[in-house]
Amino acid sequence: MQIKNKPPKALNINSIRQDFPILSQRIDNLPLVYLDNAATTQKPITVIERITEYLSYQNSTVRRGAYALSEKSTSFFNEARQKVAKFINAKQSEEIIFTKGCTEAINLVASSYGYSNFQPNDEIIITAMEHHANIVPWQLICEKTQAKLKIAPINELGELNLLELEKLINPRTRFLSLCHISNVLGTINPIKKIIELGHKHKIPVLIDGSQAAPHELIDVQDLGCDFYAFSGHKVYATTGVGVLYGKLSHLEQMPPYQAGGDMIERVTFEKTTYAAPPSKFEAGTPPIMEVIALGAALDYITNLGLENIKAYEHDLLKYAEEQIQDLIPEARIIGRAKEKASLISFVIDSIHPHDIGTILDQEFNISVRVGHHCAQPLMNLLKVPATARASFAFYNTEEEIDILIKGLKRVIEIFKY
């Protein structure tokens, strides 16, 4: 088990900011205020340098070359898999599959596990706060297998109703898939409890950890989840790589998701046998540079300490919520869960979120996300077409939140609220 609940240490934010070259640039003489970290995070210099070093001096394929360069590349690649396993405390690195992102990781499970296990009228439970990446893959597999999708409801604070969730479980329930943290509401779900609930009924549980991996200390053995998925680009690495953790007992039973080189044991025209996990699920040349850079990114955040990151971001969230509530009474914050990660979705009546985003960008160089956040069913439930969302990372500061408040005041002034 990972060591938990160490008292948080104060982070030196000024020095951390120096590690992120993008943050020091000015556009039209204004500093960049980057508040779209839930969409993608910026990259520390250690990650950038690792990529440069790899491409300059180490680039070669993995697993195949009988020459020193390729052997070196393979050993960096394998080392990165071990770093990922350690980061989420997986029992062994064979339980870590590299995908091209969290979306592909969920698709892999839905199609491989789903296709071989779901029967007509079986039921799969997801929640009302899911990203499209954790809805549509299940809809597709339901279409193919005639299984049915059930939706666990949320309350007015944006929290899951666990009693209602339990009521959905019945002898036909075959799978439960939910987010650790909502990308719209910021709600941190009590996933350990929910995983226990699933297992009480012998239901495997997948956790979409896209929004949690950058903020929470994750221990898949302690959680007991069957699958855990996240994306590299949200944990300060690049796009093009994601992680699927799966319990080895599941991975061994599951059929391949894609086929090609590297995932086989032996191929003849008559019959092919497959490699053991993780190779069975990694057809083709993998994203080698991206995987190695992911290892460097995990080193960077592990070095800062997830407890320290969480404590700092929690303070930022509180500050931002107070400032918005006190100084922008026209704004309505969407998502008031007691356990919340560092993001704020909000709407301002009669001002479209796209207008908010455009003015913040053009006049203040503030990047926020506006739109439905790939969660249209949740938007329908909340009865809003879109929201603006400010999401914070450990390199953000209270001064940047003050600039956001200034920007929002200007938005309201322009629209003569």
Q: How far, in Å, CA of 310 to CA of 308, rounded?
A: 5
Among the listed ranges 95-103, 144-152, 353-361, 363-371, the one in contact with ligand PMP (CB under 6 A) is: 95-103
Nearer to ligand PMP, 373 or 412 (CB): 373
Pattern 182-221, ligand PMP, x by CB under 6 A? -x------------------------x-xx----------
CB 205 within 8 A of CB 184: no
Q: Does 133 participate in binding ligand PMP (rule CB under 6 A)?
A: yes
Q: At what angle do helices 398-414 and 353-364 cross, to 10 degrees?
A: 120
Task: Quote the least distance from Cβ 363 to ligand PMP, whole Å.
Answer: 26
Comparing CA positions, the residue from 237, 304, 308, 305 lying closest to residue 41 is 237
Q: How far, in Å, CA of 229 to CA of 108, rounded?
A: 10
Interacting residues with ligand PMP between 226 and 245 (CB under 6 A): 231, 242
Q: How far, in Å, CA of 77 to CA of 288, rounded?
A: 7
Q: Does 365 participate in binding ligand PMP (rule CB under 6 A)?
A: no
CB 187 within 8 A of CB 159: yes
Exactly one of 102, 179, 225, 374 is catalytic; name it.
374
Q: Does 173 participate in binding ligand PMP (rule CB under 6 A)?
A: no
Nearer to ligand PMP, 281 or 364 (CB): 281
Among 47, 80, 102, 263, binds ligand PMP (CB under 6 A): 102
Task: Quote the least distance from Cβ 229 to ligand PMP, whole Å.
Answer: 8
Residue 150 three-state SS? strand
Please confirm, yes or no, whether 225 is among the known catalytic residues: no
| H helix intervals, 269-352 | 288-304, 306-327
Q: How far, in Å, CA of 79 to CA of 85, rounded?
A: 10
Task: Quote the least distance from Cβ 375 to ligand PMP, whole Å.
Answer: 8
Q: Does 103 participate in binding ligand PMP (rule CB under 6 A)?
A: yes
The percent of the chain in helix, strand and coil, each rounded to the nearest 5, is 45, 20, 35
Nearer to ligand PMP, 114 or 242 (CB): 242
Q: Does 127 participate in binding ligand PMP (rule CB under 6 A)?
A: no
Continuous segment of H or E residues that includes residue 174: strand 173-179
Nearer to ligand PMP, 185 or 351 (CB): 185
Phi/psi for 372 (5° steps) reads -95, 0
- Active-site positions read 374
Residues that bind ligand PMP (CB under 6 A): 101-103, 131, 133-134, 179, 183, 208, 210-211, 231, 242, 374
